[in-house]
Structure 1
């Protein structure tokens, strides 16, 4: 036998031994198998929802689609709750009531992802403007996970006992949908939950991970409209006017001292002026300037302190400059999302068992806001958790280039659909089924 042939045989034998020694791939869990078998179906739903977004309180086709999907899953469905909300109920014997909430609305954002299923939708916003519309906050993922969770629970009724209430809520982005549904008798017309759960996409965490936080997770949000008034006139004769644009500029700077000099330093607080409108022409001093602010805090005391500080400063400026009194109006408000620590302590082991300890992480709170907080009314324990939606290689590439990933509400944000949906369904089914007792054996 030639030397090269002997060498080849030895190498082949060694390679065969190496392959034989490789451990077999781990078997898929029942939920992983179930998701794998329905991945194409769930992804079709996701891409359809993504391609056809609708603005807040305009979710006519979206609510119809989700209602149909919940009916097909076997839920008893009621539509038109709080205008466009959908409620699906799956009753399965005695036991607790668990509410699972998803939101449906999209944002007035023109999509720039370049995806084959990217939104081309346009709509008229409440101000009468024609705007692009995009699911830039992951609500398409949230709805798909809701439908996937409903189907899994319906197909595994032999494993749990109790009642599941599935919510597709309109108008989260304008923090009005939860209030509408609750005011329409959500907790009176349907089983009141013992626990309320929700998930939310996270734009800077790896797909496959779940992130949680006991206590404050998201801040309260207050939208404030401030009108600074003056006395208009010719731009060349400012001495005969009271210039509201100058007053507005002073006010904007002064508002920031509320956080830096009046709020206790260890209390998180944000004052952001997101919009300023005043004047029509170069040489005309206008009569008024309108400001739109968002205020964020975890504490109700701090929130009220921010509002009072803005009112006091705006009025003081008017007095100092002999201007007409300003107006300060709260347009909308949603409280801080505070996860009930006892519920988080119960649910976290279920998440770790389903996804693995390394994929369930404790995270810091953020100053974003969510009207899911309102589901805590009537002393209902609530828990929202994040799901990572970005492939690790995309995160590594951004880090290597020194650039930020597109965040939520960005025209470039796009979750990795298959992994994000699979993680969301695995996490939510684990949480719900963990809170519900096993079905009694006959």
Structure 2
């Protein structure tokens, strides 16, 4: 990143705040109590406007997986300003920051950086208009999964913990991960021997924002999300004129039948009491309405909780595609089915302790245990090396949009992750995220 860019960003971003404002340490160390709560609240209130500016900057400038050079550069510069020892290029575009503060546990805090290939429709004045090459085609890019908020909370938490160094001891490992959205970023960082270079964490924490109230934090004990797999299938046919389909083998017909028949795998083969989903997200074929093309491509995702269910669903995807090809008398299809990474498991004991600590700092009725989600997350790749970790969820929308059970009053007003309308309310979302993450970290590192 160029000095000129940092100079410009300093007027509105966290980088400028860190460079110009001295960090004021608290008078004395304290556990998670009212004094800690007051200290964190005061610091957050003082800096929230700067952190929102950082969030909006990330939101306006999204980058796809393994292209996050700008985001990684900002994160590396900010962590260096705070006194972290920074290593870039871990897992291609990942960043690792180490901050030592006496003897104590090694605690990992992780955030993901990548955005998604879709056009933003939020109408925000800081909305993304970025376009880039993706799989050989020009596409819009948007932070539709909240990774912009993750990065802002990540940097703000780092600043808060540096300010509170007298309250904790040990070593912080701040990990900015690339390519969470199906790009294998965590696996790439593991392949780069992240823990061999920087140590295996004693504790790990990560968070994800989502469509719930921005004053809430949710923790799942044990398995907190699903395993993920996917498929990419090209049906090969014989193209021809749309008026003479009998002279063709229609791959669009094959793809259409495949999309429908897939659901029989879920409804007729998966055990009724078990979770499993197969969804098609992309169908690409043809160039004109009067031309039957010679190929049709179908891509989708598969999610499950139990490995045996995943094996059955993935086998069903392959078998269904092969059967449709055989029925049509078509050339062999190009079938790629992947199993995907591991699910994320929260340590039950650490989950209990983390929730108890957060309940002392945030409203106790707004921090609660929740059911697993159906989404997936490659943070679980890191947990193959250690298990003492908690991954929690933070809401992003006005609490007035939800009833007393947390259900949305109008689902159209609370678009979820991966929607082109996904629009977190920045300040309260960041405030809750920073408060929760700072509390979780200090709770295992307190002097």
Q: Does the TM-score normalized on the shorter chain lie above 0.5?
A: yes
Tell me the equivalent position of 1:144.
152
1:201 and 2:206 aligned: no
Larger Rg: 1
Of 50, 66, 80, 2:59 maps to: 50
Deviation at 1:401, TM superposition (A): 6.1
Q: 1:266 to 1:280 in 2, by over 3 A?
A: same
Tell me the equivalent position of 1:68.
77
1:378 and 2:385 aligned: yes
1:167 and 2:172 aligned: no
Please list, as runs of the form range in 1=range in 2, the aligned pairs for 1:281-430 lying within 5 A after superposition. Answer: 281-330=288-337, 333-395=340-402, 403-430=412-439
How far apart in 1 are the matches of 2:305 and 2:282?
A: 23
SS at match of 1:110: coil
Q: Is the 8 A contact 1:175 1:334 kept in 2?
A: no
Q: Is the 8 A contact 2:215 2:399 kept in 1?
A: no
Per-residue Cα deviation, 1:304-362 (whole angstroms, up to 9, x for no partner):
21111122222223333332232321367222222222321221111111213111022
SS at match of 1:419: helix
How far apart in 2 are the matches of 1:126 and 1:231?
A: 25
How far apart in 1 are the matches of 2:82 and 2:377?
A: 27
SS at match of 2:224: strand
Deviation at 1:230, TM superposition (A): 3.0
1:134 and 2:142 aligned: yes
Q: 1:395 to 1:113 in 2, by over 3 A?
A: farther
Of 241, 246, 250, 1:243 maps to: 250
SS at match of 2:108: strand
Q: Is the 8 A contact 1:297 1:336 kept in 2?
A: no
Structure 2: state its 5+ residue gaps. 1-33
How far apart in 1 are the matches of 2:120 and 2:246?
A: 47
Of 208, 211, 218, 1:211 maps to: 218
Q: 1:433 to 1:246 in 2, by over 3 A?
A: same
Tell me the equivalent position of 1:5.
none
Tell me the equivalent position of 2:270.
263
Per-residue Cα deviation, 1:13-55 (whole angstroms, up to 9, x for no partner):
xxxxxxxxxxxxx997111011112222222222222222222
How far apart in 2 are the matches of 1:313 and 1:51?
A: 42
Q: 1:401 to 1:194 in 2, by over 3 A?
A: closer
Deviation at 1:277, TM superposition (A): 2.3
CA RMSD of aligned residues (A): 2.3
How far apart in 2 are the matches of 1:176 and 1:382?
A: 20
Q: Is the 8 A contact 1:225 1:329 kept in 2?
A: yes
Q: Is the 8 A contact 2:397 2:414 kept in 1?
A: no
How far apart in 2 are the matches of 1:118 and 1:284?
A: 38
Q: Is the 8 A contact 1:196 1:375 kept in 2?
A: no
Of 417, 423, 443, 1:434 maps to: 443
Q: 1:359 to 1:80 in 2, by over 3 A?
A: same
How far apart in 2 are the matches of 1:147 and 1:403?
A: 31
SS at match of 1:218: coil
Q: Is the 8 A contact 1:219 1:367 kept in 2?
A: yes
Of 98, 110, 132, 2:119 maps to: 110
Deviation at 1:236, TM superposition (A): 4.1
Tell me the equivalent position of 1:79.
88
Deviation at 1:303, TM superposition (A): 1.5
SS at match of 1:334: coil
Tell me the equivalent position of 2:7.
none
TM-score by length of 2: 0.85
